[in-house]
Structure 1
Amino acid sequence: MTTSAVTGAHDVRMPDAGGRRQARVRALLPGLLLCVAVAAVATGLGREVPVIGGPVLAIVIGIVLSTLVPWARNESLTPGLVFASRPVLQTSIVVLGTGLSLQEVLRVGGASLPVMFGSLAVSLIGAQLIGRALGVSRDVRTLIGVGTGICGASAIAASTAVMKPRDSDVAYAIGTIFTFNIAAVLLFPPLGHLIGMSGHSFGLWSGTAVNDMSSVVAAAYSFGDGAGPYAIVVKLTRSLMIIPIVVVLAWATSRRTGVGVAERGALPWRKVVPAFLVGFVIAAALDTVGVIPHSWHGGLSQLGTFLITVALAGIGLSMRLRQLRQAGLRPLVLGGILWICVAGTSLGLQLVTGTI
């Protein structure tokens, strides 16, 4: 009787698990296929207009569709758009890691440290001083400073887990970061060409001065001249700074509130050290030891770039103009000032260190 019951239970559960997987796939397909279609169009157009490039065109096409075409705002597309803008983007970073050796990662990451530390200091200190002068609340200015200085929404998410700010404060910070992500993607590549930057100098600039990984990738790959892989390594090096920052925020929050870290919950290590960062290092290690044939590099690079374009299509299609309005004026002013200061600091430090 027991065996029959157990067997019967298995018979009931297995189809149910399979059914859930099928439902998940069906939910993802509409939005994901739309992202792939937009990416394909953007890639084709990008070959005709290489100065702009496929990744930027994917965001622009996505924004235009989400703004002007009612069916592009259908809620049924949301799961696929979210999947494209997060897991697909993270997968693209891992794929691009197959074209870099660990020696190159360490060399590029190490060379970026002077510019990275200077830009980070300007962002974190400036957020507190300028934010206080503008009357922006402590939590909002801290989140905007961390998001601008380190890794955008990812840094805000990790910091939120230890700070426990109000939902409205998180929304203000993410809205502000999102606004200047879009501005950076559209403005940085033509500015870089205007001032005659090389691929490496632009990669260092975008990697240290643009907020989210998606925007760094879009700007660098649109610029061309080998800026993309260089910018990714710089950005990943910069992203590691979230580890000490979150530890400091947890300590400062516990002192201010009188509640210890243990009572507030463990540090969010999965957010602090994302899986795609580990995957990128593993991919680079495999390339270093020769597991990945050199003849595969071209195809993997093209695949990684297309996955990036798919991800940026998802970000563009997810954009709503109300997100920009909801950020409010004072946080936007703070975010704009920090964005300009960090970009200027990065360029200035490159001039001083002779990397531009």
Structure 2
Amino acid sequence: MASLGGLAGQRKRYHSLSRWFLQGAIIAMAAGIDFPSALRVGVEGLGVTFFSIVGILLLGILLGRLLGVARDTALLVSVGTAVCGGSAIAAIAGVIKPGNQKIATSLTVVFTLNGLALFVFPMIGHGLGLSQASFAWWSALSIHDTSSVVGAASAYGESSLQLATTVKLARALWIIPIAIVFGVLRRDRVDSHRSFSAFPWFVLVFVGVVALFWGLPGLRGAGSVLSGLGKSAMVVALFFIGACIDFKGIRAAGARAFLLGVSLWLPTAALALVYVYHFH
């Protein structure tokens, strides 16, 4: 029992380290991103992001009922699939207060699919002959967590990495209106402090760093160096993410929750691929 407790504690430390390395890496890489391009990408993806998020949430709630998955678990898995994985789950959990077991189940489902996406998406992208831009859009629209989007895109290519990171972080900002909506719907259960602290505020720092290094041309050289350090930090973050895998937790999450996660993920990835083929 002691060894199991030690292993759980080690995974918790790895998870914390991966989060800090990931956020630091993304902020550092922002120093090398062109601000007008980032702004254009955010505006360009506004419509498809809105409709895809609404569609995934509605489909997730419906499938959750059909599969007999607990309502809050289905909602958390849906939000994690629609927006940005674990960050979205943590933020919305602060609003609906579902209980630790449901949070753990949804996080396990999303985290497992994220790990699979790291390896599968680059292989599929190369197999289909997707361009750097096409793969960036596809991965950002289809993969749950920012970490896995960045990991898959970095394995695909440099330009894919920058574009995918920008698209995904713009998508992550949708946590704010979604949390507000569910806060209104479940006003009696809101834990505003927990929801506030769970929001990925590093996204706003990312935007600020992009604007700073673009607005001050004299910093461009330093920005290139900082961006390179960010890519090195990303490698470390991905190592810690892999070390967090808990196969016992995967079994405990249950087949129905995983079936829901896969049933949401596959059509999301397929429709995103159709969108990429037609518009990118």
| Structure 1 residue 337 displacement after superposition | 0.9
The answer to whether 1:283 aligns with 2:216 is: no
Q: State the distance in 1 between where 2:9 and 2:186 align.
A: 39
**What percentage of aligned pairs have identical amino acids?**
35
> 2: distance between equivalents of 1:265 and 1:112?
29
Does the 8 Å contact 1:115/1:208 carry over to 2? no
> How many Å separate the matches in 1 of 2:239 and 2:181?
36
Contact 1:116 1:346 in 2 (8 A): no
Distance 1:88 1:303 in 2: 11
Q: In the TM superposition, what is the alpha-carbon distance from 1:75 to its structure 2 partner?
A: 6.5
Question: Are residue 338 (structure 1) and residue 264 (structure 2) matched?
Answer: yes
Report whether the alignment pairs 1:269 with 2:196. yes
Map 1:121-200; keep pairs closer than 5 Å: 121-200=54-133
Q: Give, in whole Å, the separation in 2 of the partners of 1:294 and 1:184.
A: 33
How far has the Cα of 1:82 moved from its partner? Answer: 3.2
The one-letter code matched in structure 2 to 1:348 is V
| Helix, strand or coil at the partner of 1:226 | helix
Q: Which runs of 5+ in 1 are unaligned?
A: 1-69
Q: Aligned with 1:243: secondary structure?
A: helix
1:254-302 per-position Cα deviation (integer Å, ceiling 9, x unaligned):
3xxxx275xx545732323x33112211211111112553333443232
> Take 2:184 and 2:154, find their aligned partners in 1: how far apart are those partners?
38
2:248 aligns with 322
Aligned CA-pair RMSD: 2.2
After superposition, the Cα gap between the structure-2 partners of 1:161 and 1:324, relative to the gap in structure 1 and judged at 3 Å, is same
Counterpart of 2:226 in structure 1: which amino acid? Answer: L
Instruction: Give the 3-state SS of the residue equivalent to 1:293 in structure 2.
Output: helix
CA distance in 1, matches of 2:92, 2:189: 16
Change (3 A) 1:162 1:298: same
In the alignment, does 2:225 pair up with 1:299?
yes
- Paired with 1:260 and 1:225, the residues of 2 have a C-alpha distance of 44
Query: Which has the larger Rg?
Result: 1
Q: Normalized against structure 2, the TM-score is what? A: 0.91
Query: What runs of 5+ residues in structure 2 fail to find an aligned partner?
Result: none
Segments of 4+ moved more than 6 angstroms? none
Give matches, 1:1-356, under 5 Å.
77-78=10-11, 80-254=13-187, 259=188, 261=190, 265=192, 268-272=195-199, 274-290=200-216, 293-352=219-278, 354-355=279-280
**Structure 1 308/207 Cα, relative in aligned 2: closer, same or farther at 3 Å?**
same
For 1:343 and 1:92, locate their aligned partners in 2 and report how far apart those are by CA, in whole Å.
26
> Which deviations, in whole Å up to 9, do the C-alpha atoms of 1:227-266 show, x marking residues without a partner?
1110111111110111111111111123xxxx275xx545
TM-score normalised by L of structure 1: 0.73
Which letter does structure 2 place at the counterpart of 1:269? F
Compute the displacement of 1:78 (Å).
4.8
| Matched residue SS, 1:136 | coil
Letter paired with 1:338: L
Letter in 1 for 2:212: L
Shift of the 292–173 alpha-carbon distance from structure 1 to 2, 3 Å rule, reads: farther
> Aligned AA for 1:339?
W
Task: Tell me by how many angstroms 1:325 deviates.
Answer: 1.1
CA distance 1:182–1:250, shift in 2 (3 Å): same
